[in-house]
A and B are shown apart, each in its own frame.
Chain A
Amino acid sequence: MNGLIGAVLFLILAPIAGGLIAGIDRKITARMQGRVGPPLLQPFYDVGKLFEKENVVVTTAQNFYVLAYLVFIALSGALFFAGGDLLLIIFAFTLAHVFLVLGAYAVHSPYSHIGAERELIQVMAYEPMIILAAVGLYMVGGSFYVADIAAATVPAILYLPGVFLGFAVILTIKLRKSPFDISTSHHAHQEIVKGITTEFSGSTLGQVEIAHWYENIFLLGFVYLFFSWNPVIGVAAVAVTYVAEIFVDNVTARVRWQAALKSGWLAAAVLGLVNLAILSYMTIGGA
């Protein structure tokens, strides 16, 4: 029952929280650049505007894929906040991204196509680390269920510092932040126009944006799991992590896809695997 409440709350509140966080993000980014920046509610104005615009498509199929993307992102987030199985959530999450990629392929546009390929490279880059993170949380909490992991009394971060850092690396990919924003970007990088979202406009683009909000809340929830033994520290850690991501976003330049892929994989191999290897050695030794 708790699970259902969590899921419903997520579905209702995540867009609000996600939009606010995006607003704060833009404000902080502006301040880091010595600007005033847009109003806090700017992301809501943007999405509201997009829904007011004319419905323009290259092919009607694109709307289907984007809708599926939004639905499955929301579903995976809802499963997460319902306390579901972390691995199932990750797989639903991947499914959602495949739909976004297919939407970009469906329009058959050169810029979208490059964006889609790069998005797939991003998926390939972050997937190992996200699975290892789930496994790490399992090794500490003894369960793949988010509800059990969140209820754990041991501080997972102390056992999983490497995994957390590795997760922070791929979080940069997932939040579409520089230096790994290779498939599309919130900033005015324009070498592939808008990459994967080039041909989406109006309400379709609005849906992509809302999906991002859902996604970001889900990812921050994932970060929280590492600190869930103490809610205050947990929320603080999430905030610090996010601000650090904004900082990284503002001080780095976009890298090529090779570097993105290597970073994701190296993070998983060096930070993730080594951490888990030590952890499993410790637990075997202890038992």
Chain B
Amino acid sequence: MQTLLFLILFPILAACLLLFVKRTTLRYAVVTLSALFIGGASIYLLIRYAFGDAVYFAAPSEGASMAMVAIEMVLALFIIYMGAKFRNYLAIVLAVVQAALVVYLEISFPGSLHAVNNLFVDQLSIIMALIIGIIGSLIAVYAVRYMETYHHHHPEVRNRQGMFFFVIFAFLAAMFGLVFSNNLMWVFFFWEVTTISSFMLIGYSETEEATKNAFRALVMNLLGGVAFVVALIFLAATEPTSGGIDLARVLASGDAAVILIPAVLIGFAGITKAALMPFSSWLLGAMVAPTPVSALLHSSTMVKAGVYILVRFAPVFAGTFAGFSVGLVGGVTFVVASAIAISQSDAKSVLAYSTIANLGLIAACAGVGTYMLVWAAILLIIFHAVAKSLLFLGTGAIEHRIGSRNIEDMEGLIVRMPKMAVMMFIGIAGMFLAPFGMLISKWAAIEAFVQVPFGLIFIAILAYGSAVTVFFWAKWMGKLVAVTRNVERVEKGFLEEPWAPLYIITGLVIAAVFLFPVISSTLIEPYVLAIYGATARLAQANVGIMLLMMALLLVLPVSFFLFRRTAKHLPVYMGGRPATPDLHFAGSLGLTREVQTRNYYLTEYFGEAKLFRPGAVVCTVLILASWILAGVAL
């Protein structure tokens, strides 16, 4: 239990310390050390608890619970203050409603509000803890130098780095708390802390746009929070059959109909947090924040809390129409967000839509909730966290280097920043190509959906979704690998951001492919087996083939050395016009003209304006349908 408490409390300690550190070098030391401790502790957790059943801990309850309620009230007051300051009355209303509901819950059901065990750890918690502890803290390390450069590039932004790193570590603490809590009241508390943390981080630059987007994120997540409290009230009211606020008891409850309603409500909270449609706009708006924040929100924290809770409740959803409906919200989000990603040229925008799409896929798996799908969903969570953090951090570094994060401006990155380009290449490959992880999950998901009644809908969604996914990633990759001439190499002397986190995460993307059979057999399969009594795994032969493919991918670049010596170099064909290597040619009237190549964005077909609203409408209907279906089931 000490490890759990350490993981929750140590980041808070670090956070408080960072509030007072002013010098970058000192801050860097503190953050790096804390990251080492947190990462080390999460690995220790793996070694200590991975090989057994779930372990529950009583943990101090009364005092802690009271403190949490008190902090919730303070946070509500803070939201009200901020809402009043920036005249966002919706946020105030939601904060008040939520606070009122919490107070009502505390007063009306004092007897039902305690769990036998407040903390627990099982394989799913361990996976989440590893993601938070390793990826999250690597991002924090990266952020130190990044923020220094950020303020150098944006002198107009008020330097509040003390607050910034305080919030980042508080965020990590809350995430640890969220995945270790067996008491749903505690889960809710940490849930709210992540909401406020992301609010603070998104609004960091204090520009009008940042503030607006921060409030949008706040409002949408508060909406989810309200649903969460309603679920808690429902659970408390039906304590004898539903199991109250004890997560383990709720999941083990025999009365499936009763716990379906709170599950759907908490699932709704998960949908808002995971930025599924129609709530995707908050995650897209969150791009205004400095890049490490995006990396954090997209890969290891925040949205992962949303899908974590969905996966937790997957056994409740399994086989119900309400769950199917929740799954469809995810499915529709997956295909629509993937399609919109085609039309985006801003790298962060593409990454954001891809995140939304993948979260949708995870939600689709969790909503339908068979054991194979839960296996696939957890795999998706892992691989997405690793690859996406790499891509965000890489994009941040590129932006600081070439002054743009537009994909078109990344043309020829392989020449200008070879190391960075290779890392981005691996990250993108990790998102959509065999034998990397995301594809394994999609594959498993297809095999699983085939066996589900009406699973054909999801098969269709996956088939079309995968097709558009290939398009938007491959064309980005293509821009990176274009060998352009006469361009300046800008990588050298690149000391602004630390490279170590990028190298480590790149290594993790590749290692994940080789380690995935181990990850699956030691962490995912035992978890799924414990919940469902059955588990999925890939056939040994197929694992062998995947490893063979990966080995081939690592060996093939050796062929570069074979080609180097013999070939004769010629400029590209330009319709017979003599042209310079950087594609300038003598045009008519004796003018020198330049050929430029641009990717297809097919805005007419896949544009945001065309697809976002229909997607949001369909998803809203599906969410309402899930409520109604859960109600009918009762």
A residues sitting closer than 8 Å to B (CB atoms) are: 54-61, 63-65, 67-68, 71-72, 75, 79, 84-85, 87-88, 91-92, 94-95, 98, 101-102, 104-113, 116-117, 120-121, 123-125, 127-129, 131-132, 135, 138-139, 144, 193, 198-199, 258, 265, 268-269, 273, 276-277, 280, 284
Contact = CB atoms under 8 A, between A and B. Distances in A.
B240 interface: no
A120 B463 contact: no
Given A84-B545, A117-B599, A101 B446 contact: no
Of B411, B573, B583, most A-chain CB atoms within 10 Å:
B573
A58 B572 CA distance: 6
Interface stretch (B193-201, B292-300, B467-475): B467-475
B447 interface: yes
Contacts of B485: 108
A265 to B, nearest CB: 7
B559 interface: yes
Contacts of A84: 541-542, 545
Given A55-B566, A95-B434, A64 B560 contact: yes
Contacts of A125: 467
Contacts of B446: 87, 131, 135
A interface, over-half SS: helix
Given A56-B570, A88-B434, A75 B463 contact: no
- Nearest first, the 6 closest Cβ-Cβ pairs linking A and B are A105-B478, A109-B572, A127-B467, A91-B434, A128-B463, A59-B483
Contact of A75 (B439, B450, B460, B552): B552
Contact of A138 (B450, B466, B564): B450
Nearest to B549: A92
A56 B563 CA distance: 11
Nearest to A55: B567
Contact of A58 (B468, B545, B552, B570): B570
Contacts of A61: 414, 481, 483, 560
Of B471, B475, B478, B483, most A-chain CB atoms within 10 Å:
B478
Interface in B518-575: 539, 541-542, 545-546, 549, 552-553, 556-557, 559-560, 563-564, 566-575
A4 to B, nearest CB: 11
Contacts of B447: 87, 144
Contacts of A110: 572, 574, 583, 595, 597
A163 B251 CA distance: 41
B598 to A, nearest CB: 9
Given A106-B483, A107-B572, A127 B595 contact: no
A60 B467 contact: no
Given A61-B483, A108-B572, A116-B478, A91 B443 contact: yes
Contacts of B563: 57, 60, 63-64
24 contacts: A55-B567, A56-B568, A57-B563, A61-B483, A64-B557, A67-B556, A72-B552, A88-B434, A88-B443, A91-B439, A95-B433, A98-B433, A98-B477, A102-B474, A105-B479, A105-B482, A107-B482, A107-B572, A108-B484, A110-B574, A120-B471, A124-B468, A127-B467, A135-B463
Contacts of A269: 460
B456 interface: yes
Interface of B: 411-412, 414, 433-434, 439, 443, 446-447, 450, 453, 456, 459-460, 462-464, 466-468, 470-471, 474-475, 477-479, 481-485, 539, 541-542, 545-546, 549, 552-553, 556-557, 559-560, 563-564, 566-575, 583, 595, 597, 599-600, 605
A123 B398 CA distance: 29
B482 A57 contact: no
A135 B573 contact: no
A87 B541 CA distance: 14
A55 B563 CA distance: 9
B464 to A, nearest CB: 5
Contacts of B542: 84-85, 88
Contacts of B468: 124
Contacts of B583: 108, 110
A76 to B, nearest CB: 9
Contact of A98 (B414, B474, B549, B571): B474
A106 B560 CA distance: 14
A269 B539 CA distance: 31
A57 B566 CA distance: 10
Nearest to A265: B464
Given A79-B545, A110-B597, A64 B482 contact: no
A101 B559 contact: no
A112 B482 CA distance: 11
Contacts, number: 179
A130 B559 CA distance: 32
Nearest to A132: B463
A277 B459 CA distance: 11
Contact of A67 (B483, B559, B568): B559
A170 to B, nearest CB: 11
Contact of A108 (B475, B483, B556, B599): B483
Contacts of B459: 131-132, 135, 276
B462 A55 contact: no
Of B450, B484, B557, most A-chain CB atoms within 10 Å:
B450
Contacts of A139: 450
Contact of A57 (B462, B475, B567): B567
Nearest to A107: B572
Contact of A102 (B477, B484, B545, B573): B477
B482 A71 contact: no
Nearest to B548: A75
Contact of B573 (A106, A121, A128, A199): A199
Contacts of B556: 64, 67-68, 71
Given A64-B556, A199-B572, 17 more contacts: A57-B569, A58-B571, A61-B481, A72-B549, A85-B539, A91-B434, A98-B470, A102-B474, A106-B483, A120-B470, A120-B475, A124-B471, A127-B466, A129-B463, A132-B460, A132-B463, A273-B460
Contact of B568 (A57, A121, A129, A131): A57
A94 to B, nearest CB: 6
A277 B455 CA distance: 10
Of A87, A112, A132, most B-chain CB atoms within 10 Å:
A87
Given A75-B549, A108-B412, A60 B567 contact: yes
B28 to A, nearest CB: 37
B567 A108 contact: no
Contacts of B549: 72, 75, 92, 95
Contacts of B599: 117
Contacts of A59: 483, 569
A20 B573 CA distance: 32
A102 B574 contact: no
A63 B559 contact: yes
A109 B582 CA distance: 10
A273 B597 CA distance: 37
A280 B450 CA distance: 10
A85 B444 CA distance: 12
A57 B570 contact: yes
B554 to A, nearest CB: 12
B445 to A, nearest CB: 10
